[in-house]
Structure 1
Amino acid sequence: MTTTRLGDYLRSRRAQVAPPDVGLPEDGRRRVPGLRREEVAMLARISVDYYLRLEQGRERRPSPQVLDALSEALLLDDDGRLHLYRLAGMTPLPRHEGSIERAVPQLLALAELWDHTPALILGRAYDVLAANTLGRAVFKHLHPGANLLLAMFVDPSARSFYADWETAAANAVAGFRFLEGARPHDPRIHDVLRTATENSREFADLWRRRDARGKSDAAKVLLHPDVGELTLRMHAFDVRSAPGQQLIVYHAQEGTRTADALRLLGSLAATRPGHRNGSRGRAS
Protein backbone atom coordinates (compact mmCIF):
# COMPACT_ATOMS: atom_id res chain seq x y z
CA MET A 1 0.00 0.00 0.00
CA THR A 2 1.30 3.45 -0.96
CA THR A 3 1.78 5.81 1.96
CA THR A 4 3.28 9.21 2.78
CA ARG A 5 4.50 10.96 5.90
CA LEU A 6 1.20 12.86 5.91
CA GLY A 7 -0.79 9.62 5.75
CA ASP A 8 1.34 8.01 8.46
CA TYR A 9 0.80 11.01 10.72
CA LEU A 10 -2.97 11.02 10.23
CA ARG A 11 -3.15 7.31 10.93
CA SER A 12 -1.07 7.60 14.10
CA ARG A 13 -3.05 10.56 15.41
CA ARG A 14 -6.46 8.97 14.97
CA ALA A 15 -5.17 5.95 16.89
CA GLN A 16 -4.51 8.28 19.86
CA VAL A 17 -8.04 9.72 20.04
CA ALA A 18 -10.63 7.82 22.07
CA PRO A 19 -14.22 8.13 20.77
CA PRO A 20 -15.52 9.73 24.00
CA ASP A 21 -12.87 12.46 23.62
CA VAL A 22 -14.75 13.75 20.55
CA GLY A 23 -18.28 13.03 21.74
CA LEU A 24 -18.70 9.60 20.13
CA PRO A 25 -19.94 6.50 21.97
CA GLU A 26 -17.52 3.75 22.91
CA ASP A 27 -19.21 0.66 21.46
CA GLY A 28 -16.62 -1.83 22.66
CA ARG A 29 -16.31 -3.64 19.32
CA ARG A 30 -13.19 -1.97 17.93
CA ARG A 31 -10.41 -4.07 16.44
CA VAL A 32 -7.91 -1.18 16.59
CA PRO A 33 -7.50 1.65 19.11
CA GLY A 34 -8.72 5.17 18.45
CA LEU A 35 -11.08 6.45 15.80
CA ARG A 36 -12.17 4.74 12.63
CA ARG A 37 -11.51 6.44 9.29
CA GLU A 38 -15.23 6.96 8.84
CA GLU A 39 -15.42 8.80 12.16
CA VAL A 40 -12.52 11.12 11.35
CA ALA A 41 -14.13 11.92 7.99
CA MET A 42 -17.45 12.63 9.66
CA LEU A 43 -15.88 14.90 12.28
CA ALA A 44 -13.90 16.78 9.62
CA ARG A 45 -16.94 16.94 7.30
CA ILE A 46 -15.14 15.41 4.37
CA SER A 47 -15.93 12.25 2.40
CA VAL A 48 -14.64 8.91 3.62
CA ASP A 49 -13.10 8.29 0.19
CA TYR A 50 -11.18 11.58 0.33
CA TYR A 51 -9.86 10.84 3.82
CA LEU A 52 -8.83 7.35 2.73
CA ARG A 53 -6.88 8.85 -0.17
CA LEU A 54 -5.07 11.14 2.28
CA GLU A 55 -4.02 8.25 4.50
CA GLN A 56 -2.97 6.10 1.54
CA GLY A 57 -0.93 8.88 -0.07
CA ARG A 58 -3.12 9.17 -3.15
CA GLU A 59 -4.07 12.73 -2.17
CA ARG A 60 -1.12 14.91 -1.13
CA ARG A 61 -2.31 18.53 -1.28
CA PRO A 62 -5.34 19.05 0.98
CA SER A 63 -6.63 22.61 1.33
CA PRO A 64 -6.03 24.71 4.48
CA GLN A 65 -9.72 24.28 5.32
CA VAL A 66 -9.36 20.48 5.25
CA LEU A 67 -6.17 20.62 7.34
CA ASP A 68 -7.85 22.80 9.95
CA ALA A 69 -10.88 20.49 10.03
CA LEU A 70 -8.62 17.48 10.53
CA SER A 71 -6.70 19.33 13.25
CA GLU A 72 -9.96 19.87 15.13
CA ALA A 73 -11.18 16.31 14.54
CA LEU A 74 -7.92 14.81 15.79
CA LEU A 75 -7.60 17.24 18.74
CA LEU A 76 -4.21 18.52 17.60
CA ASP A 77 -2.56 21.26 19.63
CA ASP A 78 -0.76 24.17 17.93
CA ASP A 79 2.45 22.17 17.43
CA GLY A 80 0.55 19.20 16.02
CA ARG A 81 -1.39 21.46 13.65
CA LEU A 82 1.85 23.12 12.49
CA HIS A 83 3.39 19.70 11.85
CA LEU A 84 0.32 18.60 9.88
CA TYR A 85 0.61 21.67 7.66
CA ARG A 86 4.32 21.09 7.13
CA LEU A 87 3.73 17.49 6.07
CA ALA A 88 1.26 18.81 3.52
CA GLY A 89 3.88 21.29 2.25
CA MET A 90 1.97 24.34 3.49
CA THR A 91 2.32 27.21 5.97
CA PRO A 92 -0.59 27.41 8.43
CA LEU A 93 -2.84 30.44 8.60
CA PRO A 94 -3.22 31.89 12.12
CA ARG A 95 -5.95 30.33 14.21
CA HIS A 96 -8.89 32.43 15.37
CA GLU A 97 -8.14 35.41 13.14
CA GLY A 98 -11.29 37.17 14.25
CA SER A 99 -10.58 36.92 17.96
CA ILE A 100 -9.02 39.48 20.28
CA GLU A 101 -5.24 39.28 20.04
CA ARG A 102 -3.49 39.49 23.40
CA ALA A 103 0.09 39.40 24.54
CA VAL A 104 1.21 36.23 26.29
CA PRO A 105 0.95 37.16 30.02
CA GLN A 106 4.07 35.20 31.00
CA LEU A 107 6.10 37.01 28.35
CA LEU A 108 4.98 40.41 29.57
CA ALA A 109 5.75 39.42 33.17
CA LEU A 110 9.26 38.45 32.08
CA ALA A 111 9.75 41.72 30.20
CA GLU A 112 8.70 43.69 33.28
CA LEU A 113 11.75 42.29 35.09
CA TRP A 114 14.06 44.10 32.66
CA ASP A 115 14.59 47.41 34.42
CA HIS A 116 17.11 48.73 31.87
CA THR A 117 15.72 47.13 28.70
CA PRO A 118 12.76 48.62 26.77
CA ALA A 119 10.55 45.94 25.25
CA LEU A 120 7.42 45.90 23.07
CA ILE A 121 5.18 43.00 22.08
CA LEU A 122 3.73 43.46 18.59
CA GLY A 123 0.78 41.63 17.08
CA ARG A 124 0.57 40.13 13.62
CA ALA A 125 -0.44 43.52 12.12
CA TYR A 126 2.06 45.62 14.13
CA ASP A 127 -0.50 46.41 16.83
CA VAL A 128 1.25 47.22 20.11
CA LEU A 129 -0.18 44.53 22.38
CA ALA A 130 1.98 45.36 25.38
CA ALA A 131 5.12 47.11 26.56
CA ASN A 132 7.13 46.87 29.73
CA THR A 133 7.51 49.91 31.97
CA LEU A 134 10.67 51.18 30.28
CA GLY A 135 9.24 50.46 26.83
CA ARG A 136 6.28 52.74 27.53
CA ALA A 137 8.63 55.41 28.87
CA VAL A 138 10.79 55.36 25.74
CA PHE A 139 8.06 54.89 23.14
CA LYS A 140 5.38 57.25 24.41
CA HIS A 141 3.63 57.34 21.03
CA LEU A 142 3.40 53.53 20.95
CA HIS A 143 1.16 52.97 23.94
CA PRO A 144 -0.60 49.57 24.11
CA GLY A 145 -3.50 49.74 21.68
CA ALA A 146 -1.62 51.84 19.13
CA ASN A 147 -0.36 50.49 15.81
CA LEU A 148 3.32 50.87 14.94
CA LEU A 149 2.74 51.35 11.21
CA LEU A 150 -0.07 53.88 11.58
CA ALA A 151 1.83 55.80 14.24
CA MET A 152 4.82 56.04 11.93
CA PHE A 153 2.82 57.82 9.22
CA VAL A 154 -0.17 59.40 10.98
CA ASP A 155 1.20 60.53 14.35
CA PRO A 156 3.14 63.83 13.86
CA SER A 157 5.35 63.11 16.89
CA ALA A 158 6.88 60.11 15.11
CA ARG A 159 8.69 62.34 12.61
CA SER A 160 10.59 64.13 15.35
CA PHE A 161 11.14 60.94 17.38
CA TYR A 162 13.18 59.02 14.79
CA ALA A 163 16.47 60.71 13.90
CA ASP A 164 16.24 59.15 10.43
CA TRP A 165 12.49 59.01 9.89
CA GLU A 166 12.75 58.18 6.16
CA THR A 167 14.76 55.00 6.82
CA ALA A 168 12.58 54.01 9.78
CA ALA A 169 9.44 54.51 7.69
CA ALA A 170 10.80 52.47 4.75
CA ASN A 171 11.78 49.64 7.11
CA ALA A 172 8.32 49.67 8.73
CA VAL A 173 6.60 49.39 5.35
CA ALA A 174 8.93 46.60 4.18
CA GLY A 175 8.26 44.74 7.42
CA PHE A 176 4.52 45.14 7.00
CA ARG A 177 4.75 43.87 3.41
CA PHE A 178 6.56 40.81 4.80
CA LEU A 179 3.73 40.25 7.31
CA GLU A 180 1.08 40.70 4.64
CA GLY A 181 2.77 38.12 2.43
CA ALA A 182 2.57 35.54 5.22
CA ARG A 183 -1.09 36.32 6.00
CA PRO A 184 -2.67 37.71 2.83
CA HIS A 185 -6.23 37.16 4.05
CA ASP A 186 -5.88 38.50 7.59
CA PRO A 187 -8.66 41.08 8.18
CA ARG A 188 -6.65 43.13 10.68
CA ILE A 189 -3.72 43.46 8.27
CA HIS A 190 -6.15 44.59 5.56
CA ASP A 191 -7.70 47.12 7.95
CA VAL A 192 -4.31 48.66 8.84
CA LEU A 193 -3.24 48.67 5.19
CA ARG A 194 -6.41 50.45 4.11
CA THR A 195 -6.14 53.07 6.87
CA ALA A 196 -2.48 53.78 6.12
CA THR A 197 -3.12 54.06 2.37
CA GLU A 198 -6.06 56.43 2.85
CA ASN A 199 -4.21 58.70 5.28
CA SER A 200 -0.64 58.87 3.99
CA ARG A 201 0.62 59.47 0.46
CA GLU A 202 4.14 58.66 1.67
CA PHE A 203 3.00 55.25 2.85
CA ALA A 204 1.25 54.58 -0.47
CA ASP A 205 4.41 55.49 -2.37
CA LEU A 206 6.57 53.18 -0.24
CA TRP A 207 4.00 50.37 -0.47
CA ARG A 208 4.17 50.46 -4.27
CA ARG A 209 7.90 49.69 -4.09
CA ARG A 210 7.01 46.18 -2.82
CA ASP A 211 10.07 45.93 -0.58
CA ALA A 212 9.63 43.02 1.85
CA ARG A 213 11.87 42.12 4.78
CA GLY A 214 11.38 41.11 8.38
CA LYS A 215 12.61 43.04 11.38
CA SER A 216 16.34 42.51 11.87
CA ASP A 217 18.89 43.43 14.49
CA ALA A 218 19.77 47.07 13.86
CA ALA A 219 20.88 50.27 15.55
CA LYS A 220 18.22 52.93 16.14
CA VAL A 221 18.80 56.58 16.97
CA LEU A 222 15.81 58.11 18.73
CA LEU A 223 15.23 61.70 19.84
CA HIS A 224 13.37 61.41 23.12
CA PRO A 225 11.52 64.57 24.26
CA ASP A 226 12.66 64.14 27.89
CA VAL A 227 16.23 62.80 27.76
CA GLY A 228 17.42 63.64 24.25
CA GLU A 229 19.23 61.32 21.84
CA LEU A 230 19.14 57.57 22.49
CA THR A 231 21.24 55.07 20.51
CA LEU A 232 19.70 51.62 20.93
CA ARG A 233 20.29 48.20 19.41
CA MET A 234 17.07 46.47 18.39
CA HIS A 235 16.49 42.70 18.43
CA ALA A 236 13.30 41.00 17.18
CA PHE A 237 12.14 37.56 18.34
CA ASP A 238 9.16 35.53 17.13
CA VAL A 239 6.84 34.46 19.95
CA ARG A 240 6.52 30.70 19.52
CA SER A 241 3.43 30.37 21.73
CA ALA A 242 1.59 33.08 19.76
CA PRO A 243 2.40 32.76 16.03
CA GLY A 244 2.57 36.15 14.32
CA GLN A 245 3.53 38.05 17.46
CA GLN A 246 7.00 39.51 17.96
CA LEU A 247 8.98 40.54 21.02
CA ILE A 248 11.03 43.65 20.20
CA VAL A 249 13.86 44.33 22.65
CA TYR A 250 16.18 47.35 22.76
CA HIS A 251 19.40 47.72 24.69
CA ALA A 252 22.15 50.29 25.16
CA GLN A 253 25.86 49.71 25.53
CA GLU A 254 26.84 49.95 29.18
CA GLY A 255 28.71 53.09 30.18
CA THR A 256 27.16 55.24 27.47
CA ARG A 257 24.99 58.32 27.80
CA THR A 258 22.06 56.27 26.47
CA ALA A 259 22.42 53.69 29.25
CA ASP A 260 22.33 56.48 31.83
CA ALA A 261 19.28 58.01 30.15
CA LEU A 262 17.44 54.66 30.23
CA ARG A 263 18.11 54.34 33.95
CA LEU A 264 16.70 57.84 34.47
CA LEU A 265 13.59 57.07 32.42
CA GLY A 266 13.09 53.80 34.27
CA SER A 267 13.30 55.53 37.66
CA LEU A 268 10.81 58.20 36.63
CA ALA A 269 8.39 55.66 35.13
CA ALA A 270 8.52 53.42 38.19
CA THR A 271 7.26 56.24 40.41
CA ARG A 272 4.13 56.86 38.33
CA PRO A 273 0.83 55.33 39.50
CA GLY A 274 -0.25 52.25 37.53
CA HIS A 275 3.11 51.86 35.83
CA ARG A 276 2.71 48.06 35.65
CA ASN A 277 -0.47 48.23 33.58
CA GLY A 278 1.18 47.56 30.24
CA SER A 279 -1.05 45.16 28.33
CA ARG A 280 -4.24 45.38 26.39
CA GLY A 281 -5.94 43.25 23.77
CA ARG A 282 -6.59 44.29 20.21
CA ALA A 283 -9.61 43.16 18.25
CA SER A 284 -8.79 41.86 14.79
Structure 2
Amino acid sequence: MDNELGVFLRARRARVAPADLGLPEGERRRTPGLRREELAAAVGVSVDYYTRLEQGRESRPSVRLVRSLQVVLRLGEDECAHLDSLVLRAAGARARAGAPPEPTQAQRRLVETVSPAPAYLLSRVSDVLAVNAEGLALLPGLAEAPARMNTIRYIFRDPRAREILGDWAASCADNVAHLRSVGTADPHAADLAALVAELSAASPEFAGLWARYDVRRWSSRTKSFRHPVAGELELTSQTLALPEGGRRLVVYQAEPGSAAEKALALLGAEPPEEMP
Protein backbone atom coordinates (compact mmCIF):
# COMPACT_ATOMS: atom_id res chain seq x y z
CA MET A 1 0.00 0.00 0.00
CA ASP A 2 1.30 3.44 -0.92
CA ASN A 3 1.89 5.38 2.30
CA GLU A 4 4.40 8.00 1.20
CA LEU A 5 2.53 10.58 3.30
CA GLY A 6 3.23 8.58 6.45
CA VAL A 7 6.87 8.07 5.50
CA PHE A 8 7.29 11.81 5.03
CA LEU A 9 5.57 12.72 8.31
CA ARG A 10 7.66 10.25 10.32
CA ALA A 11 10.89 11.49 8.74
CA ARG A 12 10.09 15.15 9.46
CA ARG A 13 8.82 14.41 12.99
CA ALA A 14 12.21 12.88 13.78
CA ARG A 15 13.89 16.17 12.82
CA VAL A 16 12.03 18.36 15.35
CA ALA A 17 13.43 18.47 18.88
CA PRO A 18 11.05 18.72 21.87
CA ALA A 19 12.84 21.94 22.86
CA ASP A 20 11.69 23.46 19.56
CA LEU A 21 8.14 23.33 20.92
CA GLY A 22 9.11 24.36 24.42
CA LEU A 23 8.78 20.82 25.74
CA PRO A 24 11.13 19.31 28.34
CA GLU A 25 13.42 16.55 27.15
CA GLY A 26 12.26 14.34 30.00
CA GLU A 27 13.57 10.80 30.31
CA ARG A 28 15.93 9.34 27.77
CA ARG A 29 14.23 8.89 24.39
CA ARG A 30 14.63 5.78 22.30
CA THR A 31 14.22 7.66 19.02
CA PRO A 32 15.09 11.23 17.97
CA GLY A 33 12.53 13.96 17.50
CA LEU A 34 8.97 14.35 18.68
CA ARG A 35 6.77 11.54 19.91
CA ARG A 36 3.48 11.02 18.13
CA GLU A 37 1.51 12.23 21.13
CA GLU A 38 3.57 15.42 21.31
CA LEU A 39 3.01 16.25 17.66
CA ALA A 40 -0.68 15.34 17.90
CA ALA A 41 -1.14 17.71 20.85
CA ALA A 42 0.75 20.48 19.06
CA VAL A 43 -1.50 20.32 15.98
CA GLY A 44 -4.73 19.79 17.92
CA VAL A 45 -5.76 16.23 17.05
CA SER A 46 -6.01 13.00 19.02
CA VAL A 47 -3.09 10.60 19.19
CA ASP A 48 -5.29 7.93 17.60
CA TYR A 49 -6.12 10.16 14.63
CA TYR A 50 -2.50 11.18 14.07
CA THR A 51 -1.35 7.56 14.37
CA ARG A 52 -3.88 6.53 11.71
CA LEU A 53 -2.60 9.35 9.50
CA GLU A 54 1.01 8.13 9.74
CA GLN A 55 -0.03 4.52 9.22
CA GLY A 56 -2.01 5.30 6.08
CA ARG A 57 -5.38 4.45 7.64
CA GLU A 58 -6.51 8.09 7.40
CA SER A 59 -6.15 9.78 4.02
CA ARG A 60 -8.14 13.02 4.16
CA PRO A 61 -6.66 15.41 6.72
CA SER A 62 -8.27 18.83 6.90
CA VAL A 63 -6.62 21.90 5.41
CA ARG A 64 -6.26 23.29 8.93
CA LEU A 65 -4.41 20.17 10.08
CA VAL A 66 -2.11 20.20 7.06
CA ARG A 67 -1.23 23.86 7.68
CA SER A 68 -0.62 23.13 11.38
CA LEU A 69 1.68 20.25 10.49
CA GLN A 70 3.62 22.50 8.14
CA VAL A 71 4.19 25.00 10.96
CA VAL A 72 4.97 22.56 13.76
CA LEU A 73 7.26 20.41 11.59
CA ARG A 74 9.03 23.59 10.47
CA LEU A 75 8.70 22.80 6.78
CA GLY A 76 10.27 25.02 4.17
CA GLU A 77 8.50 26.21 1.03
CA ASP A 78 9.45 23.18 -1.06
CA GLU A 79 8.53 20.78 1.75
CA CYS A 80 5.13 22.47 2.22
CA ALA A 81 4.39 22.03 -1.47
CA HIS A 82 5.52 18.40 -1.23
CA LEU A 83 3.21 17.73 1.73
CA ASP A 84 0.26 19.29 -0.11
CA SER A 85 0.92 17.01 -3.08
CA LEU A 86 1.22 13.92 -0.88
CA VAL A 87 -2.10 14.74 0.80
CA LEU A 88 -3.80 15.04 -2.59
CA ARG A 89 -2.37 11.72 -3.70
CA ALA A 90 -3.37 10.01 -0.44
CA ALA A 91 -6.94 11.21 -1.08
CA GLY A 92 -6.97 9.48 -4.46
CA ALA A 93 -5.49 12.00 -6.90
CA ARG A 94 -3.00 10.48 -9.33
CA ALA A 95 -0.72 12.16 -11.85
CA ARG A 96 0.90 9.47 -13.96
CA ALA A 97 2.28 10.87 -17.16
CA GLY A 98 3.74 8.89 -20.00
CA ALA A 99 7.41 9.09 -20.86
CA PRO A 100 8.27 12.36 -22.60
CA PRO A 101 9.54 12.23 -26.18
CA GLU A 102 13.23 12.33 -27.00
CA PRO A 103 14.89 15.76 -27.02
CA THR A 104 14.17 17.84 -30.08
CA GLN A 105 16.90 19.08 -32.38
CA ALA A 106 16.15 22.60 -31.17
CA GLN A 107 16.83 21.55 -27.57
CA ARG A 108 20.09 19.87 -28.56
CA ARG A 109 21.16 23.00 -30.46
CA LEU A 110 20.37 25.12 -27.39
CA VAL A 111 22.79 23.04 -25.32
CA GLU A 112 25.50 23.59 -27.93
CA THR A 113 24.74 27.30 -28.33
CA VAL A 114 25.67 28.23 -24.76
CA SER A 115 29.30 27.03 -25.18
CA PRO A 116 31.81 27.64 -23.69
CA ALA A 117 29.51 27.39 -20.68
CA PRO A 118 29.11 23.72 -19.66
CA ALA A 119 25.49 22.72 -20.24
CA TYR A 120 23.32 19.64 -19.68
CA LEU A 121 19.77 18.76 -20.68
CA LEU A 122 18.59 16.44 -17.91
CA SER A 123 15.55 14.27 -17.37
CA ARG A 124 13.60 14.48 -14.12
CA VAL A 125 15.90 11.80 -12.61
CA SER A 126 19.02 13.46 -14.09
CA ASP A 127 19.62 11.20 -17.07
CA VAL A 128 21.77 13.21 -19.51
CA LEU A 129 19.65 13.74 -22.62
CA ALA A 130 22.06 16.18 -24.28
CA VAL A 131 25.38 17.72 -23.27
CA ASN A 132 27.99 19.97 -24.88
CA ALA A 133 31.73 19.31 -25.00
CA GLU A 134 32.42 21.57 -22.01
CA GLY A 135 29.80 19.73 -19.97
CA LEU A 136 31.47 16.39 -20.65
CA ALA A 137 34.90 17.81 -19.89
CA LEU A 138 33.77 19.40 -16.60
CA LEU A 139 32.91 15.97 -15.15
CA PRO A 140 35.68 13.58 -16.28
CA GLY A 141 34.37 10.05 -16.60
CA LEU A 142 30.72 11.02 -17.00
CA ALA A 143 30.60 9.57 -20.51
CA GLU A 144 32.13 6.28 -19.34
CA ALA A 145 28.88 5.15 -17.69
CA PRO A 146 27.86 1.62 -18.75
CA ALA A 147 24.24 2.77 -19.16
CA ARG A 148 22.78 6.16 -20.06
CA MET A 149 24.77 8.98 -18.46
CA ASN A 150 23.22 10.21 -15.22
CA THR A 151 24.70 13.00 -13.10
CA ILE A 152 23.37 11.66 -9.79
CA ARG A 153 24.80 8.19 -10.47
CA TYR A 154 28.08 9.88 -11.36
CA ILE A 155 28.21 11.83 -8.09
CA PHE A 156 27.62 8.78 -5.91
CA ARG A 157 29.35 6.03 -7.87
CA ASP A 158 32.31 7.56 -9.68
CA PRO A 159 35.20 8.13 -7.22
CA ARG A 160 36.42 11.05 -9.33
CA ALA A 161 33.36 13.04 -8.29
CA ARG A 162 34.65 13.30 -4.70
CA GLU A 163 37.83 14.93 -5.97
CA ILE A 164 36.28 17.20 -8.59
CA LEU A 165 33.34 18.61 -6.64
CA GLY A 166 34.47 21.20 -4.12
CA ASP A 167 31.65 20.29 -1.72
CA TRP A 168 30.80 16.73 -2.59
CA ALA A 169 28.60 16.21 0.47
CA ALA A 170 26.45 19.25 -0.34
CA SER A 171 26.05 18.07 -3.94
CA CYS A 172 24.95 14.67 -2.69
CA ALA A 173 22.36 16.19 -0.36
CA ASP A 174 20.99 18.52 -3.06
CA ASN A 175 20.60 15.72 -5.59
CA VAL A 176 18.84 13.35 -3.19
CA ALA A 177 16.49 16.14 -2.09
CA HIS A 178 15.72 16.71 -5.76
CA LEU A 179 14.91 13.03 -6.28
CA ARG A 180 12.54 13.16 -3.32
CA SER A 181 10.71 16.06 -4.97
CA VAL A 182 10.46 14.04 -8.18
CA GLY A 183 8.55 11.37 -6.27
CA THR A 184 5.78 13.75 -5.23
CA ALA A 185 3.41 12.62 -7.98
CA ASP A 186 4.48 8.98 -8.19
CA PRO A 187 7.24 7.63 -5.91
CA HIS A 188 7.06 4.21 -7.61
CA ALA A 189 7.61 5.41 -11.18
CA ALA A 190 9.95 3.02 -12.97
CA ASP A 191 12.74 5.51 -13.70
CA LEU A 192 12.82 6.82 -10.12
CA ALA A 193 12.43 3.43 -8.45
CA ALA A 194 15.24 1.88 -10.50
CA LEU A 195 17.72 4.67 -9.73
CA VAL A 196 16.84 4.76 -6.01
CA ALA A 197 17.18 0.98 -5.72
CA GLU A 198 20.54 0.99 -7.49
CA LEU A 199 22.05 3.82 -5.47
CA SER A 200 20.61 2.64 -2.14
CA ALA A 201 22.36 -0.70 -2.64
CA ALA A 202 25.62 0.81 -3.92
CA SER A 203 26.06 3.86 -1.68
CA PRO A 204 25.58 4.08 2.11
CA GLU A 205 25.71 7.87 1.74
CA PHE A 206 22.77 7.80 -0.67
CA ALA A 207 20.75 5.44 1.55
CA GLY A 208 21.28 7.68 4.57
CA LEU A 209 20.26 10.83 2.71
CA TRP A 210 17.23 9.13 1.19
CA ALA A 211 16.03 8.17 4.68
CA ARG A 212 16.31 11.81 5.81
CA TYR A 213 13.52 12.75 3.37
CA ASP A 214 14.73 16.27 2.61
CA VAL A 215 12.81 17.88 -0.24
CA ARG A 216 14.21 20.79 -2.28
CA ARG A 217 13.75 22.12 -5.77
CA TRP A 218 16.72 23.27 -7.82
CA SER A 219 17.86 26.86 -7.48
CA SER A 220 20.78 28.90 -8.77
CA ARG A 221 23.93 28.51 -6.69
CA THR A 222 27.70 28.83 -6.86
CA LYS A 223 29.73 25.63 -6.95
CA SER A 224 33.45 25.02 -6.77
CA PHE A 225 35.34 22.46 -8.83
CA ARG A 226 38.88 21.09 -8.61
CA HIS A 227 39.40 20.18 -12.24
CA PRO A 228 42.49 18.21 -13.35
CA VAL A 229 42.91 20.41 -16.46
CA ALA A 230 41.23 23.75 -15.73
CA GLY A 231 42.22 23.91 -12.05
CA GLU A 232 40.11 25.63 -9.39
CA LEU A 233 36.78 26.85 -10.76
CA GLU A 234 33.98 28.87 -9.19
CA LEU A 235 30.89 28.53 -11.38
CA THR A 236 27.27 29.57 -10.93
CA SER A 237 24.67 27.04 -12.00
CA GLN A 238 21.46 28.25 -13.61
CA THR A 239 18.59 25.79 -13.89
CA LEU A 240 15.77 26.36 -16.37
CA ALA A 241 12.68 24.14 -16.19
CA LEU A 242 11.31 22.83 -19.47
CA PRO A 243 7.69 21.80 -19.95
CA GLU A 244 8.40 18.23 -21.09
CA GLY A 245 8.16 15.75 -18.23
CA GLY A 246 10.23 17.55 -15.63
CA ARG A 247 13.24 18.17 -17.85
CA ARG A 248 15.65 20.95 -17.01
CA LEU A 249 18.52 22.76 -18.68
CA VAL A 250 21.50 23.27 -16.37
CA VAL A 251 24.15 25.78 -17.41
CA TYR A 252 27.34 26.65 -15.48
CA GLN A 253 28.64 30.20 -15.92
CA ALA A 254 31.77 31.99 -14.79
CA GLU A 255 32.01 35.62 -13.77
CA PRO A 256 32.99 37.74 -16.81
CA GLY A 257 36.71 38.48 -16.82
CA SER A 258 37.43 35.97 -14.05
CA ALA A 259 40.12 33.30 -14.05
CA ALA A 260 37.34 30.74 -14.20
CA GLU A 261 36.05 32.21 -17.45
CA LYS A 262 39.49 31.83 -19.01
CA ALA A 263 39.77 28.32 -17.64
CA LEU A 264 36.54 27.28 -19.36
CA ALA A 265 38.33 27.78 -22.66
CA LEU A 266 40.61 24.92 -21.63
CA LEU A 267 37.59 22.67 -21.20
CA GLY A 268 36.37 23.48 -24.68
CA ALA A 269 39.79 22.65 -26.08
CA GLU A 270 39.65 19.09 -24.69
CA PRO A 271 38.60 16.40 -27.20
CA PRO A 272 34.86 15.81 -26.64
CA GLU A 273 33.75 12.38 -25.46
CA GLU A 274 31.01 10.57 -27.34
CA MET A 275 27.62 10.00 -25.74
CA PRO A 276 26.86 6.31 -25.39
TM (norm. structure 1) is: 0.59
- RMSD over aligned CA atoms reads 2.2
Contact 1:94–1:244 (Cα < 8 Å) also in 2: no
Match of 2:256 in 1: 254
For residues 111 and 239 of structure 2, the distance between their equivalents in structure 1, rounded to whole angstroms, comes to 14
Q: Which residue of 1 aligns with 2:183?
A: 180
Cα distance between partner residues in 2 of 1:178 and 1:194: 16
Distance 2:273 2:206 in 1: 34
Counterparts of 2:130 and 2:109, CA distance in 1: 10
Secondary structure of the corresponding residue to residue 195 of structure 1:
helix
Cα deviation code 1:191-244 (max 9, x no counterpart): 00000000111111111110011111000101111111111001111112x221
Query: In structure 2, what is the Cα distance between the partners aligned to 1:139 and 1:103?
Result: 22
Q: How does 1:27-106 map to 2 (within 5 A)?
A: 92-96=95-99, 102-106=102-106
User: In structure 2, what is the Cα distance between the partners aligned to 1:210 and 1:161?
Assistant: 26
Q: Which runs of 5+ in 2 are unaligned?
A: 1-91
Q: Deviations over 1:50-109 (max 9, x none)?
A: xxxxxxxxxxxxxxxxxxxxxxxxxxxxxxxxxxxxxxx967432237xxx633321111
Structure 2 residue 212 is matched with structure 1 residue 209: yes
SS of residue paired to 1:182: coil
Match of 1:131 in 2: 131
Instruction: Identify unmatched segments of 5+ residues in structure 1.
Output: 1-88
Deviation string 1:121-176 (CA, Å, 9 cap, x unpaired) is 11121111210121112122333822222211111111101111111111111111
Counterpart code for 2:110: L
Which structure 2 residues correspond to residues 126-165 of structure 1 after superposition, within 5 A?
Answer: 126-143=126-143, 145-165=148-168
Tell me the TM-score normalized by structure 2.
0.61
Structure 1 counterpart of 2:265: 263
- Give deviations 1:9-34, integer Å, cap 9, x for gaps: xxxxxxxxxxxxxxxxxxxxxxxxxx
Deviation at 1:277, TM superposition (A): 5.6
Are 2:114 and 1:114 aligned? Answer: yes
Relative distance call for 1:251 and 1:90 in structure 2 (3 A) is farther
CA–CA distance in structure 2, aligned partners of residues 105 and 249 of structure 1: 18
Distance 2:218 2:142 in 1: 17
- Deviation track 1:230-271 (CA, whole Å, cap 9, x = no partner) reads 11001111112x2211111110001111000002221x13xx
Q: Distance in 1 between matches of 2:172 and 2:156?
A: 8
Equivalent positions of 1:228-243 (< 5 A) are 228-240=231-243, 242-243=244-245
Instruction: Find the residue that maps to 2:193 and give its secondary structure.
Output: helix
TM superposition outliers: structure 1 runs of 4+ over 4 Å: 275-278
Taking a change above 3 Å as real, the CA distance of residues 105 and 183 of structure 1, as seen in their structure-2 partners, is farther
Distance 1:213 1:104 in 2: 28
SS of match in other structure, 2:184: helix
Aligned length: 182
